[in-house]
Amino acid sequence: MATSPSTGPSKSKPLSLRELQTALYTACRTNYPLDKLLFQEDLVNLKVIPDNNVEILVQCAQALTNQNLFRIYTLSGRLAWKVVKEDDAAKYVLSKTYGACFVHIFHVEGED
C-alpha cells in the first residue's frame, strides 16, 4: 500500500521563502563571524537551502539584502555578502530614496 506525500515518513512540509530567509540569516550569524565575506559556497554549505537550489539562495540573499541584513561586496569579481546585526540593519531603514543609497554607498566606501 502506497502512502500519500502528506503522510509519508521522509517528507516534511517545505519551508516558505520567508522561513528560509530567517533560517539562512540565523545560520550565518551562528556559524560565521560578522566580518567574514560569505560567498555562494559558504551559504550553500550551511545546508539551509533545499537541494542547494541557487535560484532560492539568490532570492533569500536578495531579500536579506533588501532588509539590510546582508551587504553585497565583490572580491576579485566574485559576489559576496556580509551579515549585518539586526540592530545595525535597523539604522539603514531610512527610505527608498537617494538617502538610503547614499548611506549604503558611504558605509561600503568607509570599509576600505
Question: How does pLDDT run across 40-91, given as a tens digit for each residue?
Answer: 999 999 999 999 999 999 999 999 999 999 999 999 999 999 999 998 888 7
Please give the domain boundaries of the chain with CATH numbers for all domains: 17-110 (1.10.10)
pTM over 0.75: no
Q: Is the dihedral of CA 25, 29, 30, 33 positive or negative?
A: positive
CA-nearest of 56, 23, 57, 62 to 40 is 57
